Amino acid sequence: MKDGNMQRIFIPVSALAVLTVFASGCWNNVDSVQQAHPAYSNVPYGPAFENSFTNCAWKTIAGEGNKKQVQFEGRISSELHAFALGKLNTASQVTLFNQACAYLGALIKIGKAAGDSLITFDIAGYPINPDGSVKTEQLGAFLDEPGNRKAVLALEEFYRKRFWEQDSPVVIVFNVSGIKEAKIVKVSNHHWDVDPQCAGKPEDLIAMIYEFIKPLLSVE
């Protein structure tokens, strides 16, 4: 996939499991997570994530109490970024501008807008309140004003670069309850954690990843 060829890869799950067991000598928490999968797909988390992120690493971490947890770390690949951006670009102009304003507003709220290296435009004048909330009732009028066109394009381009930003780090944490039984309890990225479209929505983020890998991976 990394060379741009959209080739379908068939993954016999049983073979993967057997190879993992022989390689490690026994099942461990990382094995369990890598062989688990969401209810809507038979593709395990292991190959799904390995084909979506770069610099992948898995490790067992200490959970609260006696909980067994596994942490995945990786960086968003150029292909996954392009896929997410393609989904974003299907939105209407009003929706896209609203999302861009909401992200900028969130940065303003936590005091990070002034220090963002990609913000080379004046953040004043957008339909955003001082507390970071968006003046949604003013979006249409703002977009219709020809004099605002440059400001709109600047904000949207900024948001496109930050949306599932290529090479930005991702952390995903699982609770492990048994062999090939795992539940995602945390999905984090420093842009997702701020963006209202992503924050607190781990299921939506994982669903996007699985939509991306669907034409690339298949399980027999």
Q: What is the pLDDT of residues 96-133, one digit of tens each?
A: 999 999 999 999 999 999 889 999 999 999 999 999 99
The pLDDT of 4-20, averaged and rounded, is 47
- Whether residues 113 and 132 fall in one domain: yes
**Digit-coded pLDDT (tens) for 49-103:** 999 999 999 999 987 777 789 999 999 999 999 999 999 999 999 999 999 999 9
Residue 197 falls inside a structural domain: no
Q: Give the helix/strand (H/E) hosting 215.
A: none
Asked if the model's pLDDT at residue 7 lies above 80, the reply is no
Model pTM score: 0.84
Residue 1 falls inside a structural domain: no
Please count the structural domains in the chain. Answer: 2
Could you please report the per-residue DSSP string of 33-98?
HHH---TT--S-HHHHHHTTEEEEEEEEEE-STT-EEEEEEEEE-HHHHHHHHHHHTTS-HHHHHH
pLDDT at residue number 17: 44
Asked if the model's pLDDT at residue 24 lies above 50, the reply is no
- Whether residues 158 and 171 fall in one domain: no
Beta bridge partners of 59: 71
Residue 152 falls inside a structural domain: yes
- Whether residues 71 and 175 fall in one domain: yes
Domain of 173, in residue numbers: 9-77+167-182+203-218
- Whether residues 73 and 89 fall in one domain: no
- Whether residues 63 and 116 fall in one domain: no
**What's 127's DSSP letter?**
S
Residue 4 falls inside a structural domain: no
Task: For the chain, state the CA radius of gyration.
Answer: 20
The pLDDT of 171-196, averaged and rounded, is 92
- Whether residues 41 and 54 fall in one domain: yes
Residue 194 falls inside a structural domain: no
- Whether residues 148 and 177 fall in one domain: no
pLDDT at residue number 66: 73
Nearest in space to 216 (alpha carbons), one of 85, 88, 91, 77: 77
- Whether residues 148 and 103 fall in one domain: yes
Say how far apart CA 182 and CA 54 lie, in whole Å.
22
Residue 3 falls inside a structural domain: no
Contact indicator for 71, 171 with CB cutoff of 8 Å: yes
26 pLDDT band, cuts 50/70/90, is low
pLDDT at residue number 20: 42
Residue 188 falls inside a structural domain: no
